[in-house]
Structure 1
Amino acid sequence: MNLSETTRRVAFSAATSVLASFATQGVAGGHGIDLAGKTVDFVIPFSESGGSAKWANFYAPLLSEALPGNPTVVVKFMPGAGSTKGANWFQEQAYNDGTLIFGTSGSTQFPYLLGDPRVRYEYGDWNVVLASGTGGVAYLPPDLASKMDGLDATALQSENFIYGSQGATRLDLVPLLAWEMLGLNVEPVFGIKGRGDGRLMFERGEANIDYQTSSSYLKGVTPLVEAGTAMPMMTWGALGENGEIVRDPTFPDMPTFKEVCDATPACETSGEQWEAWKAFFVAGFPAQKMVFLPNGASEDAIVTYTKAFDEVLARNDFAEISASRLGVYPQMTGDAAQATLAQGTQVPDEAKAFVVNWLSERYGVTLN
Structure 2
Amino acid sequence: MTRIDRRKFLAASAAAVAAASFGLPKAFAQDSVDFAGETIEWWIPFSEGGGSDVWARFMAPYLAKHLPGQPNVIVRNVPGGGSITGTNEFVARARPDGLSLLGTSGSTQFPFLLGDTRVRYDYAKLIPVLVSPTGGVAYLPASLGVADASELSKIGDQELVYASQGATSLDLVPLLAFRLLGLNVRHVFGMTGRGDGRLAFERGEATIDYQTSSAYLTNVEPLVEAGTAVPIFSWGVLDTEGNVQRDPTFPDLPHFVEALEMATGAIPDSVEFDAYMAFFGSGFAAQKPAMLPEGTPENIVAAYRQAFADAAADPDLQAAKGEILGEYEQAVGDGVQTLYEVATTIDPEAREWVREFLMSEYQVQL
TM-score, structure 2 as length reference: 0.75
- The structure-2 alpha-carbon separation of the partners of 1:258 and 1:122, relative to structure 1 and needing over 3 Å to count, comes to closer
Q: Which residue of 2 aligns with 1:223?
A: 218
Q: Which residue of 2 aligns with 1:198?
A: 194
Q: CA–CA distance in 2 between the matches of 1:120 and 1:168?
A: 22
* Letter paired with 1:33: F
Q: Deviations over 1:154-182 (max 9, x none)?
A: 455524413232x4334432211111223
SS in 1 for 2:358: helix
Q: Please state how far the C-alpha of 1:252 moved relative to its aligned partner.
A: 0.5
Q: CA–CA distance in 2 between the matches of 1:318 and 1:348?
A: 36
Q: Which residue of 2 aligns with 1:211?
A: 210
Matches within 5 A, 1:14-93: 16-19=9-12, 29-35=31-37, 38=39, 40-45=41-46, 48-50=49-51, 52-67=52-67, 68-74=69-75, 76=77, 78=79, 80-81=81-82, 83-93=83-93
Q: Deviations over 1:146-204 (max 9, x none)?
A: 63243223455524413232x43344322111112231313141574xxxx22244236
Q: Which residue of 1 aligns with 2:331?
A: 332
Matched positions, count? 339
* Letter paired with 1:43: I
Q: Which residue of 1 aligns with 2:3?
A: none
Q: CA–CA distance in 2 between the matches of 1:244 and 1:96?
A: 32
Q: Please state how far the C-alpha of 1:224 moved relative to its aligned partner.
A: 0.7
Q: Which residue of 2 aligns with 1:161?
A: 161
Q: CA–CA distance in 1 between the matches of 2:110 and 2:199?
A: 27
Q: Is residue 365 of structure 1 aligned with residue 364 of structure 2?
A: yes
Q: Please state how far the C-alpha of 1:98 moved relative to its aligned partner.
A: 4.8
Moved over 6 A (4+): 25-28
Matches within 5 A, 1:316-331: 316=315, 318-319=317-318, 321-322=320-321, 325-331=324-330
Q: CA–CA distance in 1 between the matches of 2:47 and 2:177?
A: 23
- The structure-2 alpha-carbon separation of the partners of 1:321 and 1:208, relative to structure 1 and needing over 3 Å to count, comes to farther
Q: CA–CA distance in 2 between the matches of 1:279 and 1:20?
A: 30
Match of residue 148, structure 2, among 122, 147, 150 = 150
Q: Which residue of 2 aligns with 1:251?
A: 250
Seq. identity, %: 35
* Letter paired with 1:264: A
- Whether the aligned pair in 2 keeps the contact of 1:134 and 1:288 (CA below 8 Å) is yes
Q: Please state how far the C-alpha of 1:94 moved relative to its aligned partner.
A: 2.2
- Superposition RMSD on alpha carbons, in Å? 3.8
Q: CA–CA distance in 1 between the matches of 2:312 and 2:255?
A: 28
SS in 1 for 2:128: strand
Q: CA–CA distance in 1 between the matches of 2:336 and 2:105?
A: 14
Q: Please state how far the C-alpha of 1:106 moved relative to its aligned partner.
A: 2.7
- 5+ long unaligned stretches in structure 1: 1-11
SS in 2 for 1:29: coil
- The structure-2 alpha-carbon separation of the partners of 1:168 and 1:20, relative to structure 1 and needing over 3 Å to count, comes to farther
Q: Please state how far the C-alpha of 1:247 moved relative to its aligned partner.
A: 1.8
Q: CA–CA distance in 2 between the matches of 1:162 and 1:364?
A: 18
Q: Deviations over 1:252-303 (max 9, x none)?
A: 01222233333435x8521413343234434544333211234554666545
- The structure-2 alpha-carbon separation of the partners of 1:243 and 1:336, relative to structure 1 and needing over 3 Å to count, comes to closer
SS in 2 for 1:63: helix
- The structure-2 alpha-carbon separation of the partners of 1:119 and 1:326, relative to structure 1 and needing over 3 Å to count, comes to same
- Whether the aligned pair in 2 keeps the contact of 1:31 and 1:303 (CA below 8 Å) is no
Matches within 5 A, 1:237-316: 237-239=236-238, 245-264=244-263, 269-272=267-270, 273-295=272-294, 297=296, 301-316=300-315
SS in 2 for 1:185: strand
Q: Which residue of 2 aligns with 1:123?
A: 123
- Whether the aligned pair in 2 keeps the contact of 1:202 and 1:208 (CA below 8 Å) is no
- Whether the aligned pair in 2 keeps the contact of 1:43 and 1:100 (CA below 8 Å) is no
Q: Please state how far the C-alpha of 1:134 moved relative to its aligned partner.
A: 3.4
SS in 2 for 1:131: strand
- The structure-2 alpha-carbon separation of the partners of 1:13 and 1:315, relative to structure 1 and needing over 3 Å to count, comes to same
- Whether the aligned pair in 2 keeps the contact of 1:287 and 1:340 (CA below 8 Å) is yes
- Whether the aligned pair in 1 keeps the contact of 2:14 and 2:298 (CA below 8 Å) is no
Q: CA–CA distance in 1 between the matches of 2:295 and 2:241?
A: 37
Q: Please state how far the C-alpha of 1:116 moved relative to its aligned partner.
A: 1.7
Q: Which residue of 1 aligns with 2:349?
A: 350
Q: CA–CA distance in 2 between the matches of 1:47 and 1:143?
A: 38
* Letter paired with 2:343: G
SS in 2 for 1:31: coil
* Letter paired with 2:33: H
Q: Please state how far the C-alpha of 1:361 moved relative to its aligned partner.
A: 2.2
Q: Which moved more, 1:317-326 or 1:178-187?
A: 317-326
- 5+ long unaligned stretches in structure 2: 1-5, 19-27
Q: CA–CA distance in 1 between the matches of 2:237 and 2:304?
A: 28
Q: Which moved more, 1:289-298 or 1:100-109?
A: 289-298
- Whether the aligned pair in 1 keeps the contact of 2:31 and 2:299 (CA below 8 Å) is no
SS in 1 for 2:11: helix
